[in-house]
Structure 1
């Protein structure tokens, strides 16, 4: 070990050489430290294998493990193996889950002031959705989740728009009267479908199939990939293409874990997320036609409703005014302003 006094007694050339060697050793030590870093990640989501989210997660696993030469392992837990979305975010905060890919089921318990995002017929298409979540609103959501569960929203993946399924024909709001409709447990969504005429039953996704099977509920609202992967065609006859709600999948990573990544691992983690998201979004963009065909093959019939009637009835219902003061300031205005950009 060379102390400060030794430097003073050393010839200049030797001192420079020793200083340079010290820098080399330091760099080698840092590189060695990064090379020795290993981690096994737990990634959870509620949807089944072979859905677009599952395929995106598999792509993320493939890219990250390859780019880190296996130093980072990714273990995937689809189909709510680690619990529902609320349970998984609690696990993220406790440090027992590393990444959660979550849908709108997290809004009511963790982000109640942002439940306006899932008001049916508010967000018009994928472009509108990307502008909303990629801007000021998305930043606000990240800030809240960082505070509540120490979770960093790395970004968002697409999911298909939601459409109704039922065992009766539904073409306009009056056809919803008396229908027991399962909704996500989000007060604004419950109120919106009530205003449209349905009798609503809030329920977690993992309970839904049995509830449809036992006729506890008559109908539900989800994207086509979930309708197919959850086997709803076994208990439902019609798909009503309301395309009422555009919401993404949030890719949420434990911030404590993320901050502890060596710089090179963090960069590779980010790159794997972006590449997997691009792949997953492309799958979603191509999926509507695929799932229409698959669901028809399973015997489901497709109905094109009059969406304008649903929109006008909801607009006239007063639901937006009822909830406006309970939401983040200016939320509806911010969403509406991004509709046509």
Structure 2
């Protein structure tokens, strides 16, 4: 199913529908917009018909200089069967030739009072957000000190219980069990909760609790950019875990990669505190302070400075 249709733009930006009402259910498949100045001048060789066509003062002023025959021909070609909509900016008057062609081909013509540049910016931002690639991940997303931490692991490992402890420590829950993720830009992943389970947390033996009702609005967030993945796994005595923090694993989601830390789970470990510290350490690294690397460098200098006979 199409994520965005022309009628969604009319409702979102309070536009005035002038003609082509039969086509308001046309799907919008790209966030790119087109300002068809060359097309109005008669050059249709590379006409991007699948884009929203945005007409401002420049295009319409030039259009008025054309002959009556040219006006009809240009608008006939502009109203393509693939074109989702034609939008007039600045509340300008709509050419009669455009109205007639849009009705014949059922291409919606809308009008907005916003300036062309501002309208273009708003439309692009909205469409990029709505048409961004999406996926869903089994896990919990928590905002810890401004860092979006995606907690993953096998079912029953303690993800929700850890999230509950983090909420009690003042951090904010974004999603539990299922995290919907969209890639809004290169290396920009934004996670949110499905509407059905928003603000809810499932604790085995206790059931489903509403975090906002129990802890207040300050304990939840609608969405958060994901920066760090904490993967919980049952402690394996035969496995060698990282003790210095030099090596950095990555988790790939859609086309982006985020830092991944694997935490072994066993009785006695306070996972909430460890994850809290991991988020703080991650922020520190982004500020250019890498404690593990500094320790390694100091250790290497000590070894190099020692007398070879003592080694």
Q: TM-score scaled to structure 1, two decimals?
A: 0.22
Higher strand share: 2
Higher helix share: 1
Greater relative contact order structure (CA < 8 Å, 6+ sep) = 1
Q: TM-score scaled to structure 2, two decimals?
A: 0.23
